[in-house]
Each structure stands twice: as C-alpha cells, then as structure tokens.
Amino acid sequence: MKWIVGLGNPGTTYQGTRHNIGFMAVDAFAKRHGINITQSKCKALIGEGNVAGTKVVLIKPMTYMNLSGESVRGFMDYYKADLADMIVVYDDLDTECGRIRLRYQGSAGGHNGIKSIIAHTGTQVFNRVRMGISRPQPGMNIADYVLANFPRSEGDQVKAMIEDTCDSLEFALKNPFDQTMAKFNR
C-alpha cells in the first residue's frame, strides 16, 4: 500500500489558497483515478483506490496545517503503514510558482505542517513533493501570503503544476522515488 498525504487547511475559508495546494493536488489525483476522499478516520479525510495495480490511500488531514503530524501518526498506527510508502504533497515558498521539487529527506524548511510530521514520526526521512508558490514581495506578511488565493495571473502555472504533481505521483507508484526525482526535478 502506498499513501499520499496532501497538506492544507480544512474548510471553505481556505479553499484555493496557496497553503492548500497539497489538498488541490490530492483532489486532482483522486478525480483522475475515480477515488472518493470522503471517509473520516485518523483526524483526516481518506480515500482508497487502486492505481496501476497498486493500492493507494489518499489522505487530507483535517487538523489544520500546523498539526498535520497527528493525522499522519494516527494513520501509521491504525493501518500499520510504513513511512517509506508515504509521499507528502505541500506548498513551498522556496520553489518558484509552477514548479515542483521532489526530495526524500530534509528539514522542515520553516513549513509548520512538515515540522509537525517530523515531530510525530521522529524522522526527516520521507518522500515529498514540494509545490512552488514563490516568496511574497518584501515586507509582505508570510502568513497573509500563504493564506491568500492564487491570483488569476498564476492560474495556468498552478494548473500545470497540479498536473505535473499528479504525473509524478503516478510515476512514483511504479518506480523508486530516486528515479521519480530524476525524472521530475528539472
């Protein structure tokens, strides 16, 4: 079983915000593969399906971003899930909007959702797809920036980035993550 965790904040207030790009990508992946993310379990919304012969569980933590690790830990404990089979999808200020960067370990880089996952799993070693949202203009509050909607001018970039993320997730289900990084880190 592979499991994909999209990070975001629950509720309509946060739909379409930069911080919810992980939710948007997981929703697009679910739509692409006919998976319904409706089951409430482990402080998350969960959907199960089969993609290219692999059982896949899609997870959207409902704990708010800063407590995402609670859902991840709950899922690991309940399902006896292996952390090596997890891919976390989330927003990244240090990656240009429209680009994705994949890595299999590293610090949280200031991302509170990743900090929470590291704290609850006890490791920095897990697969990640970082979706670029770029940095705000100097002087702009970062919290205000990540909780704002993408401007229309970035719409095409965001759509393409979501498609690239879905493609990378599909590839990662069939191939080692280092090969996925080689193919999608451009």
User: Does position 51 have pLDDT exceeding 90, yes or no?
Assistant: yes
Is position 19 annotated as part of the catalytic site? yes
3-state SS, residue 172: helix
At 182 the pLDDT is 97
104 appears as a binding residue in the annotation? no
Query: What total number of domains does the chain contain?
Result: 1
Output the domain CATH number for residue 53. Answer: 3.40.50.1470
The whole-model pTM stands at: 0.96
| DSSP assignment of 129-153 | EEEE--PPPTTS-HHHHHTSBPPGG
From 19, 33, 111, 120, the catalytic residue: 19
User: Does position 34 have pLDDT exceeding 90, yes or no?
Assistant: yes
Q: Which of 3, 21, 44, 42 lies closest to 173, judged by CA?
A: 3
79 appears as a binding residue in the annotation? no
Q: What is the largest CA-CA distance in the chain?
A: 48
The pLDDT tens digits for 78-123 are: 999 999 999 999 999 999 999 999 999 999 999 999 999 999 999 9
The pLDDT tens digits for 133-174 are: 999 999 999 999 999 999 999 999 999 999 999 999 999 999
At 48 the pLDDT is 97
> How far from 43 is each of 49, 55, 100, CA to CA, in Å?
19, 21, 27
User: Does position 126 have pLDDT exceeding 90, yes or no?
Assistant: yes
Residue range of the domain that includes 23: 2-184
Considering just the CA atoms, what is the radius of gyration of the chain in Å?
A: 15
66 appears as a binding residue in the annotation? yes
Q: Which amino acid is at 79?
A: Y
175 appears as a binding residue in the annotation? no
At 52 the pLDDT is 85
Mean pLDDT, residues 63-82: 96
pLDDT above 90 covers what percent of the chain?
A: 98
State how far the Cα of 93 lies from the Cα of 163, in Å rounded to an integer: 19
- Phi and psi (nearest 5°) for 11? 100, 155
In 28-180, the DSSP E strands lie at 39-41, 44-51, 54-61, 86-92, 100-105, 125-132
